[in-house]
Chain A
Amino acid sequence: MRSGAERRARAGRALVAGLPFAWLVAFFLAPFGLVAKISLSEKANARPPYRPAFAAGDGPGDVLDKLSALSLDNYRLLAEEPLYLDAVLTSLRLAATATVLALLIAYPVAYAMARAPGRLRPALLLLAMLPFWTSFLIRVYAWIGILKPEGLLNAALAWLGLIDTPLEILNTEWAVQIGLVYSYLPFMLLPLYAALERIDPTLLEAGQDLGAPPWKTFWLVTLPLSRPGVTAGCFLVFIPALGEFVIPDLLGGSETVMIGTVLWSEFFGNRDWPLASAVAVVLLVAVVAPMVLWRREEARRTEAPT
């Protein structure tokens, strides 16, 4: 009787602990396994468009044969063909720049929001999230209207007498950079706001009480305490910006090739699923590696002083 109840309780606990794990396996690890497997395959004019393809009726011999047919050829191609390496480097550069710019723009805004009177904050937060109410695609299209040679920006600059000939911004990396910063700014703003808003204002008074002028208190107290928001915001901008393909496609023209664009054209243009999968795996590693390093650094830092 009692042991039965105990067993049930233990099973319940295992279920609760196991659910997120099962979720992770079903919706993250399993698809990743599939992609990794396809990236080791070979393009084929078939359905599905790669070889080997495992089938339900395969015997053990068939499976072994098919496994031995897997190869790293696609990765070799990625490493040897400069087009791919260039695309990766361009993506890293654009995403990193967008992250830094978004941080520099969002920090003062988030700071002002967090220091605003309490009754104003919900309204300010709503304003910050307002862009999400419009389709992402439409917002990027709107930038074409702003950036094109006869667009709003050039018209405004000409009217101010700052330029004679329109600036070439659309279909350059500049346009992509602007589009990336604009699109991902809210992802930087919200975690920064959350981190800054949580800081106890008496800590800032304590800093001043102990002799630090306001700017120094900001540097020694506010900035370090907002670090979790900074890191979260940087990841939330950097990761999707790295794989972005809509913005370079619409604003960058044929000039700017980001890794996301390559993935898109290999998959849908060339129907080369194996190569596209290899690109996806490389992209994932590029994203996960810095995160793992950061986690390890973080764990080391928080445990050290005891």
Chain B
Amino acid sequence: MAEPPGRPAPLIRFEGVTKSFGAARAVAGVDLDIAQGEFFCLLGPSGCGKTTLMRTLAGFETPDSGRILLDGADLAGVPAHRRPVNMMFQSYALFPHMSVEANIAFGLRQDGVPRAEIAERVAAIVRTVQIQGLEKRRPHQLSGGQKQRVALARALVKRPLVLLLDEPLAALDRKLREDTRFELKELQARLGLTFLMVTHDQDEAMAMADRIGVMEKGRLVQVGAPAEVYETPATRGVAAFVGDSTLIEGVAGAFDGAAARLRVRAALGASSPEFVVAAREAPAEGSAVTLALRPEKLRLWTEPPEAGTPNVLEAEVWDLGYLGDKTLVRLRLPGGGTVRVSRLNASRRPEAGLSAHQRAWIGFDPADAVLLTR
């Protein structure tokens, strides 16, 4: 297939990849290009097929249909042990009967690398992932974080075209997980390697990836930069899964093309307020739409805002969740349903003047609501 000029050929290309287990469809027609040097993250809830998709690239699952190209070559029929990709397993899968050193050297031995070079490369990667002094230990003598580093070193030492990481941080505790995020990202940039990571943790995906592919029930529903996926989710599923959103169902009303504004009649229990939201093109009048409202983009007043403020709703404060850096306020709408609003605790004053069961007003700028038609 000829590439359009000006765009480099992708390092990895999935073309209509489908994989079923019995009647269950784990991966359904995935098309995806990943460029050399990219940190790509597959994100989605547990069981959506992320690991299966990654395993088709590693050679552990054979797609039922579709093809996978690596550096332009079709991988069909190439066994796992001949593919120039390496995987860091979710369970790390370190060989328990071998020392750390032997685990790391394992892959180089298979390639027939000369002894002296093996020693050199193992020593170098041990320094890179900072596990000096652990070389002679067995895996059962390591902490979780150390195991993770050994697994990383073992996969990296072979200098793979692509490093596959299956939930690489899931087994670490929170603090270590956050530190390791940046380390992994920094390592990837420094080595100029292509990383394909699988995670169900959206913070992790946001913090690390150049691009995110969101999966839902075996389908790849959206691909884009973290900010793009967060600010303009393509489907209700993505809006609900990536970040926190309040979803409000409604019906499309009149469209003002000049101002790019759409009227939406919301269905909030008994009441049906009308909102004005930004829209590039109009869905058919009367069709069902969903508004996704991010908690940090909603405004909150304890007094009625001045007349003419768009998209205002009166509500009752239900409870306050103090999270340290911010406070999450849950409000009940008069017609039923709840809305979450987050307020940044930028100063050390406690949340002044806000208490449960008091009346409050929320509102949002027309440009801050996400209009979803899928």
Interface residues of A (CB under 8 A from B): 200, 202-203, 205-214, 216, 220-221, 224-225, 305-306
Residue of A nearest to B141 (CB): A306
> Across the interface, do B110 and A305 meet the contact criterion of CB distance under 8 Å?
no
> Across the interface, do A208 and B136 meet the contact criterion of CB distance under 8 Å?
no
- Chain A CB within 8 A of B196 CB: no
Residue of B nearest to A211 (CB): B110
> Across the interface, do A211 and B89 meet the contact criterion of CB distance under 8 Å?
no
* Set of chain B residues within 8 Å of A225, measured between Cβ atoms: 96-97
- Chain A CB within 8 A of B106 CB: yes
- By secondary structure, the A interface counts as helix
Interface residues of B (CB under 8 A from A): 58-60, 79-82, 86-87, 89, 91, 93-97, 99, 106-107, 110-111, 136-138, 141, 154-155, 158
Complex alpha-carbon distance, A208 and B106, angstroms: 11
Contact pick for A202, options B79, B93, B99, B155, CB 8 Å: B93
> Across the interface, do A205 and B137 meet the contact criterion of CB distance under 8 Å?
no
* Set of chain B residues within 8 Å of A203, measured between Cβ atoms: 93, 95-96
The 9 closest A-B pairs by CB, nearest first: A211-B110, A210-B107, A206-B93, A202-B93, A208-B80, A208-B81, A212-B110, A209-B87, A224-B97
> Across the interface, do B110 and A202 meet the contact criterion of CB distance under 8 Å?
no
> Across the interface, do A205 and B89 meet the contact criterion of CB distance under 8 Å?
yes
Q: Given the known A-B contacts A200-B91, A216-B110, A224-B97, are A210 and B154 also in contact in the complex, defined by CB atoms under 8 Å?
A: yes
Contact pick for A305, options B80, B138, B155, CB 8 Å: B138
How far is the CB of A306 from the nearest CB of chain B, in Å? 7
Q: Given the known A-B contacts A209-B58, A210-B86, A213-B81, are A306 and B95 also in contact in the complex, defined by CB atoms under 8 Å?
A: no
- By secondary structure, the B interface counts as loop
* Set of chain A residues within 8 Å of B93, measured between Cβ atoms: 200, 202-203, 205-206
> Across the interface, do B79 and A305 meet the contact criterion of CB distance under 8 Å?
no
Q: Given the known A-B contacts A216-B110, A305-B137, are A208 and B89 also in contact in the complex, defined by CB atoms under 8 Å?
A: no
Complex alpha-carbon distance, A212 and B138, angstroms: 21
* Set of chain A residues within 8 Å of B79, measured between Cβ atoms: 208, 213
Contact pick for A306, options B80, B111, B136, CB 8 Å: B136
Q: Given the known A-B contacts A210-B86, A221-B95, are A205 and B141 also in contact in the complex, defined by CB atoms under 8 Å?
A: no
Q: Chain B CB within 10 Å — which of A203, A210, A305, A306 has the most?
A: A210
How far is the CB of A85 from the nearest CB of chain B, in Å? 40
> Across the interface, do B95 and A206 meet the contact criterion of CB distance under 8 Å?
yes
Residue of A nearest to B84 (CB): A211
Complex alpha-carbon distance, A206 and B87, angstroms: 8
CB pairs A–B below 8 angstroms (22 shown): A202-B91, A202-B93, A203-B96, A205-B80, A205-B89, A206-B87, A207-B95, A208-B59, A209-B80, A209-B86, A210-B107, A210-B110, A210-B154, A211-B107, A212-B81, A212-B106, A213-B81, A214-B81, A220-B106, A305-B99, A305-B137, A306-B136
